[in-house]
Every structure is written in structure tokens, then in C-alpha cells.
Amino acid sequence: MKIHSQFQPHNLFAAGFVTLLCVCCLFSPFPVSALDNGLALTPPMGWNSWNKFQCDVNEKIIREMADAMATNGMKDASYQYINIDDCWQGQRDAEGFIHPDPQKFPSGMKALADYVHSKGLKFGIYSDAGGKTCGGRPGSRGHEYQDALTYARWGVDYLKYDWCGCEDLNAKGAYTTMRNALRAAGRPIVFSICEWGQNQPWLWAADIGNLWRTTTDITPCFDCTLDHKTWQQWGVLQILDAQKPLRKYAGPGHWNDPDMLEVGNSMSVNEDRAHFSMWCMLAAPLICGNDLKHMSKETLDILVNKEVIAVDQDKLGVEGFVYSTNANAEIWFKPLSGGDWAMCALNRGMQPQNISFDWKHENVTDDFSKRDAQFDRTIYSLRNLWTKQDAGDTSQVLNAGIPAHDVLMLRLTKIIANEP
């Protein structure tokens, strides 16, 4: 934990959280220290413009998304951030201050942030460590402190910071500069590192960012890669597989980010459900990427399933792991606070698959969080998190059929513990 000597009055907020984090660290399974801004103690939840609108973003869309989130059940389900991605930027003025594109954001960013805040939500923005963003707009290189100050003045609560056009910049150095600039600006701002896993940020970013992208960009496809010659986009399974070695690097305040959600963006309902479930098993940031104003009931039902979200937001902050693989079925477990577990059986294949799981003969342990389910001597009740029904307990063998590209997701709660 880095504690800085220049505490100023506006940093008292941060100082309180440093103390809290220090106390938490004493009881945490996590060996690394987290960024000391006190934010994202559970994975951030919100919406971002990129996956659906790409560069066609404007203040009307942002207002509509805030309106939708505030009223459609998402805010009630803990979604908070409304984040503008690339292409909001206009020009820098003679003194180097950045201004929004006057055609797309004629009311200015302060007014937009005020609007989002008036809905009880938080406001996020995007920039890039290089001279130009991936969309060719002005990046922050050479203007980091000025930009951080500008964002703080506008009322920004979340910054996604990309990695296009960085030439020979050193990633740790560049992200440290912006972390320090945000700190100096004096406003608590979630710092989202987006360098696509190229420099293994999980090894160095725990006290620099609150989250870091681990891979290239997602695309709304369950099992595919899109080749653009100079770069690729990955489907849900391709990104999921890349997370498997990384769980030990994440925890409260510093998360692996397998990219924003594609729920509602053209995959089947089964695939959307599996995608959302697996992101929750990963304790991933839940940043929706669909059109919140025009979505089906099935999409909304997935996004606001509070019992599934509770798995993601569990305060222990431990990512799930693959326990077993049989043909196309992967069985994942995630330790939860209070002795509970989440179990998710994922059918990766194109055909329905049956699974049979005889709990008392399964040895589910997690060296990282030092948890042992002890199914041989402990009985847990089972709750099906998608049908929202109780589903018996672990004294019986579980037999289930899982449709193609879908999941069975259960929460396990201890009901009888027999000491040996």
C-alpha cells in the first residue's frame, strides 16, 4: 500500500479509505495492495457506449441511457455508471484544454454530467495514453494533468484509458502518470486501464488502476474470432479461456476486466445468459454494451437478475475457477462470503448436454482463497439462480440437462455441517 505524504483537505476522503483498506488487507486473502482511491471494492457496474454505438455517440443518447437505467430496474439492481467511450472529443483550445465535439455535445460535458448525476447515477468518460485515441480523436499524451483536472471539473467519476497510438511509451509509466494526475485532481475517479493485456497489467497495475482489460476487444459472438488483419476481436469463450490463469491477480479495488458485456447485441438468449453468468463467475466488471432504451424483456431480465449479480458483487471478491471438464461441459465454482459457493455448469458445445454431479464424492477446494467445500460432510441447499427456485440439496446427486451454449447456475448455502 502506497501512502502519500501530501494529504490535502480534499484528500481526506481518500485517507479514510486508505485506513479502511489497510484494515481490510489484514483479513484479506489477497497478497497485493490495491489502488488507494477507495473505489470499486466490488466490480464496477454500469453501461458504456462503445459496443452498440461506437463513434455514433452524442448527448441525446447518453441522456436516454441514463433515463433508461434510472427507471427500468437497472439502477435498483446496482448499475451505477453511464460511460461515454471514444469519439466525444472535439479540439484542444489555445491553452491545451480539451473540449467535447460541439456538434455531438452542444450542451457541454459539465451539463451532461450534472444530468446523469441528477438521476442518481455516475458519469464516465474515455481517453487514451497516446497522442490520438483509437477513433483518431485527441488523446491525453502530454496533457495528462490538464485532462484529469478537466474531468474533475466536469464531475467525471470513471475514466477508461486506452492504448492506441502509444508508440514507444512504457505502459506502466504511462498509466502511472494518469493515475497520479487523477489523484492530483482530487476527485475520486475509477481508473479503468485498457491496454488489452499486451503488457500483462495484472502483474503491475493493482495499485495503478481499479481494473485492467485482459484481452483484445469482445465481439457479440459466443465462439469465434474476427480477424481484422492487424488485430482480432474475440468471442465469449475465447475471452473466458484467457481469464483462467489470472484469477489470483484480482480482488477488491483491482479487477481483471474481460471487456464489456455484449448481452442484447445479437447473440441468442441462451448465449447471453451464459455470457452474463460467466462474467459474474469471474467477478468481472458488469458494464453493459447494448441499447438500454430498446431492449427485449429477455435481455433486461438477464441484466437485472439480482441473484446472479450477487455472485459477481460478492464482497469476498474472489474469482471463480474451473473445477472439472467433461466433453463440452465445464463446471466452475466461486467461493462466496459467509461460506456460500456459486456453481456454474457451462455447456460450451452446440448440442444439449447432460451432467451428473455426485456432490459428496467431489473434492472442491480452493488453495487461493483457502476454502474447502467439504461436500463429504457438509450439506448445502441449492438455489437455481436463473429459474429463481430452490433446487434440493447436495445430499442428492445432481442430474441436469443443459441446452447448447447455456448454463446451469446454482448458489450453495450450508445447511448441515457434520464435524468429522
Residues that bind ligand GLA (CB under 6 A): 50, 85-86, 133-135, 162, 194, 196, 217
Nearer to ligand GLA, 38 or 124 (CB): 124
The full length of the chain comes to 420
Shortest distance in whole angstroms from residue 261 CB to ligand GLA: 12
Catalytic annotation, pick one of 86, 147, 217, 291: 217
Residue number with the smallest Cβ distance to ligand GLA: 134
Report phi then psi at 182, rounded to 5. -65, -40
Residue 228's closest CA among 236, 240, 216? 216
- In the complex, least distance from residue 84 CB atom to ligand GLA, rounded to whole angstroms: 10
Rank residues 232 and 413 by Cβ distance to ligand GLA and give the closer one.
232
CB of 40 vs ligand GLA, minimal distance in Å: 18
**Known catalytic membership, residue 162:** yes
Helix (H, G, I), strand (E, B) or coil at 124: strand
Element (H, E) at 232: strand 232-234
Cell 453468468 found at: 277
Comparison of 229 and 361: residue with beta carbon closer to ligand GLA = 229
CB of 263 to ligand GLA, least distance (A): 16
Q: What stretches of 292-336 adopt beta strand conformation (E)?
A: 321-326, 329-335
Q: Whose Cβ is closer to ligand GLA: residue 134's or residue 250's?
A: 134
Give the other-Cβ count within 10 Å of 400's Cβ.
15
The partner residues of 47 in beta bridges, in order of sequence, read 82, 288
State which residue, 194 or 398, has the beta carbon closest to ligand GLA: 194
Closest CA to 53 of 81, 25, 87: 87
C-beta of 261 vs 311, nearer to ligand GLA: 261
CB of 193 to ligand GLA, least distance (A): 11
**Strand, coil or helix: what is 307?**
helix
Q: Cα(138)–Cα(125) distance, rounded to whole angstroms?
A: 13
Which listed residue (36, 147, 157, 162) is catalytic?
Answer: 162
The least distance separating ligand GLA from the CB of residue 217, rounded to whole angstroms, comes to 5
- Identity (one letter) of the amino acid at 145? Y
Long-range contacts of 357-361 (CB under 8 A, 24+ apart): 357/331, 357/397, 357/398, 358/397, 358/398, 359/394, 359/395, 359/397, 359/398, 360/394, 360/395
Q: Considering beta carbons, is residue 234 or 249 the nearer one to ligand GLA? A: 234
Rounded to the nearest whole angstrom, what is the least distance from the CB of residue 284 to ligand GLA in the complex? 14
Grid coordinates standing for 379? 450439506
Q: At what angle do helices 171-185 and 144-154 cross, to 10 degrees?
A: 40
Do residues 325 and 374 lie in contact, with contact meaning Cβ atoms separated by under 8 Å?
no
Tell which residue, 335, 283, 318, 374, has the closest CA to residue 29.
318
Active site residues: 162, 217
